[in-house]
Amino acid sequence: MTTACFIGIDVSKETLEVAIHGQEAIRSFANMPDGHQALVNYLKPMNPTLIVLEASGGFEIEPALALMTSDLPVAVVNPSRVRSFARAYGRMAKTDPIDGHIIAHFGQAVRPRLRSLQSEQAAHLTNLVRRRRQIVSMLTAEKNRLSTTSIRLKAGVKKHIQWLQEEEEELATEIAELIQTLPEWREKAQILQSVPGIGPVNAATLLAELPELGTISRQKIAALAGVAPYNRDSGKKRGRRKTGGGRRAVRSAFYMACLSATQHNPVIKRFYERLIAKGKETKVALTACMRKLLSILNAMLRNKEPWRVVNLHAENP
């Protein structure tokens, strides 16, 4: 009988600290292409049951891709899940770092969902979408600084703003062109953009950051997007349900799409107005609308059907 082997990898900008569940030794590899290949060569003979990496600001993307390309089972998890797990086992004080052993133990106990292999084009789309988001953030910051910048420096700030605007336009064009290269992406983008409130930027973000859309249940897709409500009950106490976790980039982009949908999408607008009329707070109503709209998009992509108001009369999100 083959013994299960669980690997935990603590990811940083420069190194990958690798631990095997049940063993004390730690192996370190450089977080660069040569190190990724050395990591694959080290792990491949072990035939691991699961390799778990923490999401680490994007530093985990390349090593995870290298492992998946070599047909190794990989899961990338939210760091908060591992920290909560470590505290539950009494293995981490508030200031203690997460290490490979804790991540490996988390993998053995929790068995997180495997990450599917991203193709080179999918990885490129993700990088383009994230880079455009960074540019937009810098553009907003520079525009805000312009009003308080001294006259002598305004010309430089304006020049930078112009460069950022041109860069954002080039990235948007490249994203649109890349989506058109694959029939599957092109079809999904057309379906998503047929929905009032969903534009090219939202569609690209969903394709890049939420590729599971249309392939799993509405409950699971809501959890991935961070709009699923979680109970906070204890005994007879019934706490207020709150959302949490999920993919922040998806949630942020989808929030803006939902704001537009409450004004221009007849189904979401009617649903939002009914919730407000019942006394729901604005934020609560918007979150419910996000969940409902995401559920609709999930069904549309699953059935490969564009937006049709006549088929969207169900009131439950």
User: 168 and 251 share a domain?
Assistant: no
Q: Check pLDDT > 50 for residue 310.
A: no
Q: Check pLDDT > 70 for residue 65.
A: yes
Q: Check pLDDT > 90 for residue 238.
A: no
Nearest to 188 by CA among 222, 180, 196, 286: 180
Mean pLDDT of 33-39: 95
Does 163 fall in a domain?
A: yes
Of the pLDDT bands very low, low, confident and very high (cuts 50, 70, 90), residue 80 is confident
Mean pLDDT of 178-206: 93
pLDDT given at position 123: 83
Of the pLDDT bands very low, low, confident and very high (cuts 50, 70, 90), residue 168 is very high
**Mean of all residue pLDDT scores within the chain:** 86
Does 1 fall in a domain?
A: no
Question: Considering 88, 110, 132, which residue would you say is the last residue of a domain?
Answer: 110
User: 253 and 291 share a domain?
Assistant: yes
pLDDT given at position 226: 83
Instruction: Return the ∠ at Cα 2 (arms to 88 and 76), rounded to 5°.
Output: 45
Nearest to 178 by CA among 214, 216, 131, 142: 131
Does 64 fall in a domain?
A: yes
Mean pLDDT of 4-19: 92
CA distances from 54 to 17, 18, 118, 285 (A): 11, 12, 17, 32
Reduced to 3 states, what is the DSSP secondary structure of residue 291? helix
Among 57-61, 133-137, 209-213, 292-296, which stretch is predicted with the lowest mean pLDDT?
Answer: 57-61
Which residue segment(s) compose the domain that 128 sits in?
Answer: 119-181
User: Percentage of the chain surpassing pLDDT 70?
Assistant: 87
Question: Considering 84, 110, 136, which residue would you say is the last residue of a domain?
Answer: 110
User: 214 and 309 share a domain?
Assistant: yes
User: 286 and 188 share a domain?
Assistant: yes
Nearest to 225 by CA among 212, 238, 237, 234: 212
Residue 58 CA to residue 240 CA, distance in Å, equals 33
In sequence order, the β-bridge partners of residue 15 are: 30
Mean pLDDT of 275-289: 91
Does 20 fall in a domain?
A: yes
> For residue range 105-141, what is the model confidence (pLDDT) as tens digits?
999 999 988 876 666 788 889 999 999 999 999 999 9
Domains held by the chain: number: 3
Does 76 fall in a domain?
A: yes
pLDDT given at position 275: 94
Reduced to 3 states, what is the DSSP secondary structure of residue 70? coil
Residue 62: CATH number of its domain: 3.30.420.40
User: 189 and 294 share a domain?
Assistant: yes
User: 312 and 194 share a domain?
Assistant: yes
Q: Are 227 and 258 in contact (CB under 8 A)?
A: no
User: 101 and 146 share a domain?
Assistant: no
User: 155 and 229 share a domain?
Assistant: no
User: 197 and 270 share a domain?
Assistant: yes
> For residue range 89-102, what is the model confidence (pLDDT) as tens digits?
776 654 455 688 99
Question: Considering 110, 135, 162, which residue would you say is the last residue of a domain?
Answer: 110
Does 304 fall in a domain?
A: yes
Does 217 fall in a domain?
A: yes
Compute how many other C-beta atoms are within 10 angstroms of the C-beta atom of residue 252.
Answer: 12
User: 224 and 254 share a domain?
Assistant: yes
User: 200 and 292 share a domain?
Assistant: yes
Mean pLDDT of 228-249: 57
Residue 215 CA to residue 289 CA, distance in Å, equals 21
Does 226 fall in a domain?
A: yes
Q: Check pLDDT > 80 for residue 311.
A: no
User: 84 and 152 share a domain?
Assistant: no
